Each structure stands twice: as structure tokens, then as C-alpha cells.
Structure 1
Amino acid sequence: MEIRMYECGFGDCFRLREANQVDLYVDFGIHSSSWSGNDKTNRFDNIIADMNEKKDFLLTHYHDDHFNGAIYMATTTPHRFNNVYISDVWNMPGSVYVTSLTLLRGIFTRSVILGENTIIDFLETICTRRSRIHFISRGVKFHNDQYIALWPEKKYVARKAQSMFEKLQVELGEANLERIEKIANRLNAIVIALANGNDGIIENYEVQFSELREEYLDAQRTFDDLYGYNYDNNVQYRLTRFGNEISIVFQNFKADRNILFTGDFGKKRNWSFIEKNRDGLVKLHSCYDVIKIPHHGTDSYYHSFLKRIQATSELMIPNGYIKQHWDVSSKYNADSIKKKNGTVCAHNTTCSEPICLRCRCIYPNSYRDI
């Protein structure tokens, strides 16, 4: 298996290529506080120019620094992904709470009113390109059984989402969240229909998504009237953290290299569930050749992989140029010294400590093969 890591600043995009298989792209996006304008679109264009005609896409979670490149591709080129794998938080008890929390984050980050990319825009591009949606959760094999998901665990997600939504009802008011819940219900119905191959949804998708977008924007105006610009940063942080918690984490099942991809996953209790295989569904490999580090290698999401790597292992840390202080954790540097493993970063100016022992930087190139 060949892994190509693209230079996306503070953003993720990877290509997994295996003989006789369609390429799988894992995430495709750049954070708004990283590259922008021509710098951003040039990076997107370089990735798109590198694509074969047939390819699939896995979105680890519903944050735009992981999917805004896919929207750019769909709106500016004829390219399409045949199959799109997304976290299965749609077709389960309490799914409306998960979708509501995702939509609320768009409001509290002001991404709706500022015209930035939202989950509604991403889902519309899937519909526009007639991609087939596949739901991924713990224990599910995908992409011709080459990979198997370690997370999300649906029971945990359902409990967490409902609990968080009910707390926000108290903080923000039930009536305000009722509007978000109605939008979420409609969006869920569309996504489930798409996943079930309902072409009738595709035929009138423009009207449905246009209505949803207007309702969403109107909900944003309501929150603006109530809170002005004084949104609670703690609420925004909690919503973002939850979005990261439902990241798809996966490893190889049939592929010839042991790989681990983690999205922006990182809560210690959830890592414990995976590592101890509490439900008996999927065991972690004892050692990995390549690991994509959680959440761009930042300190608050640090996770030790010392027991599962060796000197020949490579850690991929997609933490490139950014206008904020989200540096690579110094703990990865300490781990690198202990294990003498390889590290691939997007941009070496984001390390808070001296670079790792065997660090290779992608920048100023557009990608590096691992």
C-alpha cells in the first residue's frame, strides 16, 4: 500500500493506493486559519490534478477543515467520488441529536452567516455528484474489506449526544433548539435516503437543500438577535470537541501494511475502549507501520503510541502553517527520541520544540509519499 500525505497546512488529506483497488482519499480540507485565498485553492488544485478518474472518499468527521476541499472539487471541476464513507451517526437512535449538535457548531462558529462551508453544503455536493453514501461505525469493514473501523461506537455516541443536547436546551432554550432539531430531522431523512439509493431524493435535491440552507441561515439570525456577537466560547468548544469525538478511526484489515488513521479523535476514555477492545469487535494491531496522529498533533489531543510503534514506524502529523498557536505537542518529540521513529509533518515551523529525531517536512512540496 502506498500512502501519500498532502501539504494542507493545518488540514488533512491523504491518498491510500493499493494494487488493483480504487484509490481512497481520507479527508480533504484546510483550516480557515491556515492557508487562504490563492494559497488554499492552489493546494486544492494540486491534489485534484493528482487524482485518477475513479476514487473513493472517507470523511473522518464533520468539520470543514476536513471536507472543504471536497466541496471545492465538486463546485469547480467535473471530478467526483464514487463512494463516500461517513461516520454512522445518521441511522441510529438519537441521531437527530448528533446532527443538531453538528448544525449548532456551524452557528456558534458563525460559519453559516459568513458563507463558509457547512455540513449541508458537503452533503449537497455528494448529491450533486451522485456519490453513494456508506455508513461507517465500529466493526464495519469498507472499501472492498481493505479496512475496518475502530470508532465511532454508536451506543456511546447516542448517549453522549442526547446528554449534551439536553444540557444545551437548558442553556440556550428549548424553543431555540427546536428549530435546529427540525432542520436536523429533515437532513437525516435526506442522508438516509441517499445511503439507501433513493434516486427520487436526487431528482429534487436542489429545492430540498435550498430550503434547508435558508432555514439554517434564519436560525443563525435568531441566535444573532439573542446573543449578538457574544457567543459563549465554552459552548463552541464543547460542540467542536464533540464533533472530534465522533471521528472515524480505522486500521487495515486486508492491506499489506499496518496503518492507523485517527481523524481528530482523542478522548482518553474512548481510546481506552478501543485499546482494551471492550466489546470484543476489533483488536488493535500490536504494531503499526504508519499512524496518522490525532488532531494535527496538538497537545490537548496527545495520545501515546509508544507501545505500538518501532524505529521503522512513521507518524504523520498534518500540522502546517497556521495563524494560531496550535503547535505540535512536545510529547511527540520526546516519543521520537525514545523510539527513533520517523515523523512526517506539513510545516516545520509549527513545532513548539526542536523537530523530531527523524522528521521530514512536506513543505514546500505539495506531498510526500510514506
Structure 2
Amino acid sequence: MRYRRDAYEFEKIYLPDVFSGPEMKYTLALLLLADVTKKASLPGRRVSLFALAEALCARRVKIDLLSRGSEFEGKYTALWPDLREVSRETEDVFNSLIENHENAMTELVNIAEEVRQLFLSMTEETPEAEPKSAPLSEASLVEEDTEESERSLTGQTEPGGENEGYTQEKLELIMEDTGAVAEDTAETPEEAEKERARRLKPEKLEKKFRELQATEEFQALLESAEKQGHFLRQFRHKISLAFQNTGDGELNLLFTGDVQPQYMRMIAENYDGRIPLHEHYWCIKVPHHGTESHFFDFSRFSPENMMIPNGAYYDNSKKKSKNQRTSMQYGGLFYINDAHMYCSNCDCCDSYENGCSCREYDVISPAYYKDI
């Protein structure tokens, strides 16, 4: 955004909203777990929630949280993430992990809650009266406004229900074992805020997380997650930001982030009847790095320009595997008529053998993608 003087600069830093609701600590717990799995980082890179938090705190910037329907910059509307879908996905993975690793997951969720509070403190409008979310060890004491979300994430059903998932009663037994007690102090608001700022420093939280990682229980949890095939890095894609221009015009932009195909189809079909996509786009940034796993057919939208930022992603990978190459469905016989393709490296494209198969194209520096 700041590489060219004439580039449009966003007024704030925008993040997917996995922080505003107390129930999102479960999602953040999975994201923290993803940060330390073997296959969690981008090729040649390692970016964690703590690294992001440290960078934001160092710059003292305000962030804004976006979810489906959020409008920002006075001209864009967020298409994804949908927090209901994120919660549903979280429930499936979380319950499968906590079943055999109760203590490690309990500690992980408590750290995730503090991470949630840290990011929430950097938003423009942090609710003044928001109660501090209880640690996992006190879930039976949470307020009524979070009860429904907690019930969803622990498999609790009404008496007589058929759901045999991880029950609230079993979770409460875990909580009794941990012995955590809710803090009830008589601090002034100013003192409470100072204590909160001291407690929620990224380096302190990261130290606590490293100590947890050193335990045998956490290592067993990590091994179990990888054996069960939970692709936690892919879980990050479930919360990826996607947005378009709020108003329909000649310069419509569709930014798809790392949105997975099943969610891209939902967005294109306007699954909830709230935000239809425009019929035509001036520019579409394709999902992920144009890889086959995230391919989506945008031909129905007659895009004038398509952006495929893949070069660095493929070049930085050690194995140079096929699943990191640009899908051949974006070129060759599948080339969208009249679309101008912007790529960062032809060598990683499966449609490039004896030369580029796209009729109109430019190979440009990856830095230019940062303008969007």
C-alpha cells in the first residue's frame, strides 16, 4: 500500500474479526496451534499471531475488525469471514482435539483469551463495559450472552438431545480440576487498565505460550493434531478476508484473499441473501496464489484484469511441488476472453511450457501487488 506515491492507502489496518466475541478464543486457540505445527508457515517464512501483535503494538496503530457485511473505507464491503461458519468449523476441530488432551487445550484456550483481549484493545472502539471473559476453567460461570456460543463449541444440547459430542458436564469437570478462580478485585478503572496493559504485552503472552509448548502434554497434542490430519494452516484460510466495492461501478474490485473454493461458491451464490456479487469486475485478485487447491472459475464475471501473485510463494518453497504452482485452469484453453493477466512468475505456471498461453498478460514485480 505504501510502495508507490500514487497508490491508494487504507486508513487503518484491517483484520478478520476473530477477536470481538468471547467464544472466538476457541478459534484463536487453533490458530496458535497452527503457528507451531510443521506445515503451518509459508515457504521460507514464519509469521505468528504474536509476531503480528508485537508489530502492531510497536507501531501503536489502531485496527478494525471485519466480518461479512462490514463496510469500511467508505467504499468496500467485506464478503468473508462469516463468523457463524468459522464457529462451526472451530467446533469440529476443537472437539476432536480436546477429547484426549484436556489439560493442554485448557491452557491453550486461556492463553488464546488473553491474545483476544490484546487485539481487542487495539481496536478503535473497545466496549467499555465488556466483562473479562472467564478462563476455560470457569466456563460454567460465563455470562448468559456467551452461553449459546459456549454450548455450540462444547457439543452441549438440551435434555433429550441426540448430540453425543463433548458435553458441558464433562468440560466443567476439567474446569474443576484446573482450580482457577475468577479475579474479583476492587481496582479503579485506571488501575485496572494499567494492569491489563501490563498483563497483555505480546512478549509476556508469547513467553507463557513457549512454556506451554515445552510440556509433554502440549507436544502430545501437537503430534495428535498432525496425525489426525488437521491442516491447521488451511484453517487460517477459513478466516481470510474477502471484499468488494460496496457500490456497483466501472472499477469494481473483488479481493478474495485465501478464501477456499467451498466458501467462494457460497459467496458467489449469495448464500445468505445479504451481499450479491457484481455482474462485472474491473479487477479480480484470485484466491490464494492461484493454486489448483483454491481455483475458482470467475468467467461469469467477465473480469478485465486478473491478478495471480504466485512467484515468491513458489520460489521460496523447498520442494517446488505441483500444489504450489499456478493452476492451468487460469490459462491455456481455460483463458477468460479479454482478461488481462497479471502474474509475478511464469515459471511456476502449469500453463507455461513453450511460452505464456495467456493472450494478454504482464509479468510484474510482486511488490506491485502490495498496492492492493
Asked if Structure 1 and Structure 2 have the same fold, meaning a TM-score greater than 0.5 normalized by the shorter chain, the answer is yes
Matched, 1:318 2:309: yes
8 A Cα contact 2:256 2:286, kept in partner? yes
Cα distance in 1 for residues equivalent to 2:201 and 2:6: 31
Give TM-score, length-normalised by structure 2. 0.69
Between Structure 1 and Structure 2, the one with more strand by share is 1
Give TM-score, length-normalised by structure 1. 0.69
Partner of 1:9 in structure 2? none
Cα distance in 1 for residues equivalent to 2:333 and 2:70: 31
Shift of 1:89: 1.4
1:145-184 matched pairs, under 5 angstroms: 145-170=74-99, 173-184=101-112
8 A Cα contact 2:331 2:351, kept in partner? yes
Q: Classify 1:267/1:93 alpha carbon distance in 2 versus 1 (closer, same or farther; 3 Å).
A: farther
Q: Classify 1:283/1:157 alpha carbon distance in 2 versus 1 (closer, same or farther; 3 Å).
A: same
Q: Secondary structure of 1:123's partner?
A: helix
Matched, 1:251 2:181: no
Q: Secondary structure of 1:257's partner?
A: coil
Query: Which protein shows a greater Rg?
Result: 2
Aligned length: 292
- For each residue in 1:215-253, what CA deviation from the matched residue of structure 2 results, as whole angstroms up to 9, or x when unmatched? 111222226984599676465752111110111110012
Cα distance in 2 for residues equivalent to 1:343 and 1:248: 22
8 A Cα contact 1:102 1:239, kept in partner? yes
1:341-352 matched pairs, under 5 angstroms: 341-352=339-350
Partner of 1:124 in structure 2? 54
2:17 corresponds to which of 74, 88, 104:
88
8 A Cα contact 1:127 1:202, kept in partner? no
Q: Classify 1:328/1:361 alpha carbon distance in 2 versus 1 (closer, same or farther; 3 Å).
A: same
Cα distance in 1 for residues equivalent to 2:316 and 2:5: 26
Cα distance in 1 for residues equivalent to 2:34 and 2:282: 35
Aligned amino acid, residue 212 of structure 1: L
Shift of 1:109: 3.2
CA RMSD of aligned residues (A): 3.4
Give the unaligned 5+ runs of structure 2: 129-189
Cα distance in 2 for residues equivalent to 1:249 and 1:260: 8
Cα distance in 1 for residues equivalent to 2:110 and 2:55: 22
Shift of 1:52: 8.5
8 A Cα contact 2:97 2:221, kept in partner? no
Cα distance in 2 for residues equivalent to 1:309 and 1:357: 15
Q: Classify 1:257/1:170 alpha carbon distance in 2 versus 1 (closer, same or farther; 3 Å).
A: same
- For each residue in 1:307-335, what CA deviation from the matched residue of structure 2 results, as whole angstroms up to 9, or x when unmatched? 0125xx11100100333221000111146
What's the % identity of the aligned pairs?
26
1:331 corresponds to which of 329, 332, 336:
329
1:177-326 matched pairs, under 5 angstroms: 177-195=105-123, 196=125, 200=193, 204=197, 208-222=201-215, 226-227=219-220, 233=226, 238-254=231-247, 257-268=251-262, 270-310=263-303, 313-320=304-311, 321-323=315-317, 324-325=320-321, 326=324
Cα distance in 1 for residues equivalent to 2:336 and 2:290: 17
8 A Cα contact 1:336 1:342, kept in partner? no
Cα distance in 1 for residues equivalent to 2:92 and 2:276: 29
Cα distance in 1 for residues equivalent to 2:221 and 2:280: 50
Cα distance in 2 for residues equivalent to 1:150 and 1:190: 25
1:361 corresponds to which of 360, 363, 368:
363
Give the unaligned 5+ runs of structure 1: 1-14, 16-24, 26-46, 57-81
